[in-house]
Amino acid sequence: MVNVFLWVVGILLAFQLILLFGLIIWKTRTLSKEKRLGEEVERLMPQFKEYIEGSPSGKTKLPENVNMQAAAIEKTLDQLMSEAAAEQEKKKVMELADQNLSAYYKKILKKGKWADRINTLYFIEDFRMASLQEEVFQHFKKLHKQDEEYRQCLRSAAVLQDPKVIDVLFANHTLSTGFIKEILFRLNPSLLVDLSQRITVEDKASENLLFAFIAINGEQKNELFFPFVENMMLDNRLEVRIKAMKSLCNYEKLQDPSKLSRFFKSANWEERMYAAKLTGACRLNEFTESLVDLFSDPVWWVRFSAADNIYELDNGAGILKRIGATSKDAYARDIAMHMLTRKGGKSQ
- Tell me the pLDDT tens digit for each residue of 163-221: 999 999 999 999 999 999 999 999 999 999 999 999 988 778 899 999 999 999 999 99
Q: By the 8 A CB rule, do 166 and 198 touch?
A: yes
Closest by alpha carbon to 279, among 313, 327, 235, 324?
A: 313
Which 3 state secondary structure label does DSSP give 174?
Answer: coil
Q: By the 8 A CB rule, do 330 and 324 touch?
A: no
Please tell me the CATH code under which domain 256-348 is placed: 1.25.10.10
Q: Counting beta carbons within 10 angstroms of the beta carbon of residue 101, is it exposed (0 to 12), middle (13 to 18) or buried (19 or more)? A: buried
- Tell me the pLDDT tens digit for each residue of 285-343: 999 999 999 999 999 999 999 999 998 899 888 999 999 888 988 889 989 988 888 74
Closest by alpha carbon to 246, among 278, 272, 223?
A: 278
- Tell me the pLDDT tens digit for each residue of 250-279: 999 999 999 999 999 999 999 999 999 999
Q: What is the 3-state secondary structure (H, E, C) of 202-243?
A: HCCCCHHHHHHHHHHHHHCCCHHHHHHHHHHHHCCCHHHHHH
Closest by alpha carbon to 307, among 340, 275, 274?
A: 340
What is the rounded average pLDDT for all residues in the chain? 87
The whole-model pTM stands at: 0.82
Domain boundaries, the chain: 69-162, 163-251, 256-348
Say what the alpha-carbon torsion angle 95, 101, 102, 105 is, to the nearest 10 degrees.
Answer: -150
